[in-house]
Every structure is written in structure tokens, then in C-alpha cells.
Amino acid sequence: MISAFRTLRAAIACSVLLAASSAPIFAQVTATAPIATVPQYNERWDVYGGFSYAHFNPGAGEGSTLAATNLFGWNGDANLWFSPLFAIEASARGYYGNIPLPPNRYVTGNPPMSENLFLFGPDFRFIRKQNYAAGFHTLIGAAYGSFDKGFPPGIQPQIIGVYNNKLAFGSAVGAWYDHNLSPKWSVRITTDWQPTHYGLSWQNEFAGTAGIVYKLGSLKK
């Protein structure tokens, strides 16, 4: 009886020692296991190209009665990613349309106009899922408006309440959504509040774009 008790006690002691020695091994494996980055968000660069839309009022001054017009064009972006969360973005945008002029003695019809913006700033990718991602950007830079293309020589657009050609402050604040087609390709939709400052007043411009993203390079491990 005493011998059996001693044998049982020895077995229990061995089990305790084995469990105690195994615990650090499991803890070490858990602590050192790498956290994988989803392949879609490990790129160093991404480039974007797409169609764009803007709603813009070319009327000069706060009291202008000129109606806003719809502009269509292109949008090209490039992002340099420093982490899956943060990038610096450069954006170039071109919009084209017509100015809805009221009846006047200088110009007939609705003359063409264009606007180009060159912007840069931070881009944040807060949502990163297997099939989609979303984030927002805040961009500043310059806007160039060309408003006199359909005007006779010597007639400035401001005579009939339209902005003169000008290089002005431009910016864009908005959100974007990516739907991943593969680790390298995505479809992107972006909507922006795009304020500009032609003349002596601010223009509260709305802009949107849809197109394709291609990702290249990789972040250093």
C-alpha cells in the first residue's frame, strides 16, 4: 500500500514538472508568431485613373445670378504608402463643360470652360478588409480656371459676371471606397468637397470620380 502511494505521488510530481516546463515553450511560440499583412494592403505605390464629375458655379462674386454647371473629365492619382494605414497622395484633375450665360450683347450661346486642379496631401486607409477598403484624404494645391474660350477678343468674362482666367487656391476633402478585384487591382469610387477661391469669393464645388487602381511594389518587412 505504501509502495503504491509512493508511486502515485511520484507520477503526480512528474506531471507537474512536465506541465511547468512546457508552459514557457507555448508562451514563446504565441509571443513570436508573426502577424500577417493582408496582401492587398502591402503595396508601396498605387496609381489611379478614372472619369470625373464636378458641379461648379463660374459666376463671379457673391451676388452672381449665374447658374451652376455640370463638368465632366478625368482624374489621375498616385499614392506613396508608408504603412497599410498612411500615404501621401498626389492628384491631377481636369473638368470640361459650358457656361450657362444669360442673354447679353457680347457672347451668344454657352461658351466652353475648363478647370484643372493639382493637389497633394495625406491619405488614410482606416478600413482594410479582404474584399474592400475605405478611407479619406485631405488635399491642397492649385486650381486653374479657363473661362474666356468662347469670348470675342478684348472682352473679359467678368464684364458679364463670369470669372476671368485665373490660377487660384484649390483643395479637396473627401472619402473613397475600393472594391478589390485581386491583390493588385481594385475599383475605386471617391466623393469630394472641392472648394476653390476664384476672384474674391469661395466656390463650394462638389466632385466625384470612379475608376481603376493598380498597386505595385511592397512595403519593407
Sign of CA dihedral 144, 60, 56, 73: negative
Residue % of the chain over a pLDDT of 90: 67
Across 181-197, b (16+ Cβ under 10 Å) vs e yields: eeeeebebebbbebebe
In this predicted model, what pLDDT tens digit does every residue of 36-61 receive, in sequence order?
556 689 999 999 999 999 999 998 76
What is the rounded CA–CA span in Å between residue 21 and residue 43? Answer: 42
How much is the pLDDT for 43?
94
What is the rounded CA–CA span in Å between residue 128 and residue 205? Answer: 29
Give the chain's mean pLDDT: 86
What is the rounded CA–CA span in Å between residue 102 and residue 157? Answer: 12
In this predicted model, what pLDDT tens digit does every residue of 75-132 receive, in sequence order?
999 999 999 999 999 999 999 999 999 888 899 889 999 999 999 999 999 999 999 9
pTM: 0.80
In this predicted model, what pLDDT tens digit does every residue of 123-167 receive, in sequence order?
999 999 999 999 999 999 999 999 999 899 989 999 888 999 999
